[in-house]
């Protein structure tokens, strides 16, 4: 019997794939280490500047100007922190006559966001009510911007006895088809999202930051003070990316659910938006909400985009107590009123 020579199978064909997988794994590990280090640097460069309170076992951070003036609560939008209300100038416009409470909403800035709760606008509104109890505040004017306007709307609907007035800025109130919900939601997905937040999401966020911010301020230029003073790097921490992704994912269903209750809101409501808002269209959102809430007032500011509180903070401050100051907004701000 003739023996056949042994054939040796070469592993060279698998080597490029193996090397590629090893390279990808190494890159992901390196990015995770870099992102963790960057997050710690961001926190050292931007330490908490306010106070902490414990509410229902959750640690919340807020800026509290103190004083004896009537309380005003400020709620920032998705991806931002309480610093947005300070950098915009809105907090300074209010602090002389009011006690201003600017919260880091759950998961943003230095506030906790436990995973056992779905942090819908309604859940955040209930937490806000408990927070005001903890701070000894019986009633307040509540001002919310963008996603914060959804929380302010839910607060006015669920806790009307606590609201002197709700002022809603550049809000999203009615469901629409939005591409950003598909693009921004994956980091909220369990396991896959956890991996994304620790590795690629912070890198993509930094790469797209200028484009995203400029779109929010468009058609106006992004003010220099935003780039100088807003703690943008805090938004690239994995924890805050999770909060932002979750709120992006729940935005449309939350609006669909909440729209059923707008007609029942009984507190005074002032709705303010920029005429050229490319994030939340003023016609489809703010004007439609004005029609749904009979006792509301609508202010559309020409030439402004989504970040209407930058450059028009005096108009918003006037809206807190218009009867005390003047029957019309401050001079020099052309507005469409209804």
Average pLDDT over residues 96-124: 97
* φ and ψ of 276, to 5 deg: -115, 30
**pLDDT tens digits, 254-307:** 999 999 999 999 999 999 999 999 999 999 999 999 999 998 999 999 999 999
Q: Is 91 contained in some domain?
A: yes
Does the residue 257 lie in any domain?
yes
> What is the span of the domain harbouring residue 195?
41-337
Least confident of 56-60, 126-130, 161-165, 325-329: 325-329
Q: Could you tell me the sign of the dihedral formed by the alpha carbons of 118, 120, 125, 128, in that order?
A: positive
**Whole-number Å distance between alpha carbons of 90 and 74:** 9
CATH number for position 298: 3.40.50.1820
Asked whether residue 30 is domain-assigned, the answer is: no
C-alpha distances (whole Å) from 250 to each of 18, 247, 253, 254 are: 39, 5, 6, 6
Residue 80 lies in a domain: yes
On whether residue 2 sits in a domain, the answer given is no
List pLDDT tens digits, range 53-64: 999 999 999 999
pLDDT at residue 51 is higher than 90: yes
* Chain centroid offset of residue 272 CA: 17
Query: Does the pLDDT value for residue 42 go beyond 90?
Result: yes
In what order do the strands lie in the sheet containing 140-145?
51-55, 58-64, 98-103, 70-75, 140-145, 163-169, 269-274, 296-301, 336-337
pTM for the model: 0.90
Asked whether residue 5 is assigned to any structural domain, the reply reads no
Which residue would you say has higher pLDDT here, 327 or 281? Answer: 281
The backbone region for 332, taken as left when phi is positive above 0, alpha when psi lies in -120 to 50, beta otherwise, is left
Q: Which of 62, 47, 45 minimizes the C-alpha distance to 111?
A: 62
16 occurs within a structural domain: no
pLDDT value of position 314:
87
At which residue do the structure tokens 């939008």 appear?
77
With respect to residue 26, please indicate whether it lies within any of the assigned structural domains: no
Whether the CB-CB separation of 78 and 248 falls below 8 Å is answered with yes
The residues that bridge with 71 in the sheet, in sequence order, are: 99
Tens-digit pLDDT profile for residues 149-167? 999 999 999 999 999 999 9
What is the domain count for the chain?
1
The dihedrals phi and psi of 175, each to the nearest 5 degrees, come to: -65, 135
pLDDT band at 184 (very low <50, low <70, confident <90, very high): confident
The answer to whether residues 105 and 124 touch, using CB atoms and an 8 Å cutoff, is yes
Nearest to 127 by CA among 106, 148, 144, 110: 106
Distance CA(269)–CA(97), nearest Å, equals 20
Check: CB of residue 244 under 8 Å from CB of residue 79: yes
């Amino acid at each position: 019997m003739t023996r056949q020579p042994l054939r040796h199978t070469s592993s060279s064909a698998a080597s490029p794939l193996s090397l590629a997988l090893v390279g990808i794994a190494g890159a992901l590990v390196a990015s995770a280490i870099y992102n963790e280090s960057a997050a710690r640097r961001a926190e050292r460069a931007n330490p908490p500047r306010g106070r902490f309170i414990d509410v229902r076992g959750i640690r919340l951070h807020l800026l509290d100007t103190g004083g004896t003036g009537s309380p005003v609560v400020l709620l920032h939008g998705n991806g931002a922190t309480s610093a947005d209300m300070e950098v915009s100038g809105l907090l300074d416009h209010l602090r002389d006559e009011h006690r201003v409470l600017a919260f880091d909403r759950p998961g943003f800035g230095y506030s906790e966001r436990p995973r056992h709760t779905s942090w819908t606008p309604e859940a955040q509104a209930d937490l806000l009510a408990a927070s005001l109890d903890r701070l000894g505040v019986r009633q307040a004017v509540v001002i919310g911007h963008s996603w914060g306007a959804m929380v302010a709307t839910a607060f006015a609907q669920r806790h009307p006895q606590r609201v002197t007035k709700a002022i809603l800025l550049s809000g999203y109130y009615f469901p629409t088809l939005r591409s950003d919900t598909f693009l921004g939601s994956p980091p909220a997905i369990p396991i896959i999202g956890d991996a994304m937040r620790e590795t690629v999401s912070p890198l993509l966020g930094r790469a797209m930051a200028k484009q995203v911010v400029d779109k929010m301020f468009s058609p106006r230029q992004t003010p220099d003070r935003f780039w100088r003073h807003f703690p943008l790097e805090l938004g690239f921490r994995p924890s805050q990316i999770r909060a932002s992704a979750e709120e992006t994912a729940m935005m449309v269903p939350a609006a669909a659910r909440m729209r059923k209750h707008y007609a029942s809101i009984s507190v005074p409501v002032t709705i303010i938006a920029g005429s050229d808002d490319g994030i939340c269209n003023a016609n489809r959102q703010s004007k439609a909400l004005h029609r749904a809430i009979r006792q509301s007032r609508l202010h559309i500011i020409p030439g402004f985009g989504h970040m209407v509180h930058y450059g028009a903070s005096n108009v918003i401050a006037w809206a807190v107590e218009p009867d005390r100051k003047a029957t019309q907004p401050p001079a020099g701000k052309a507005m469409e009123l209804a």
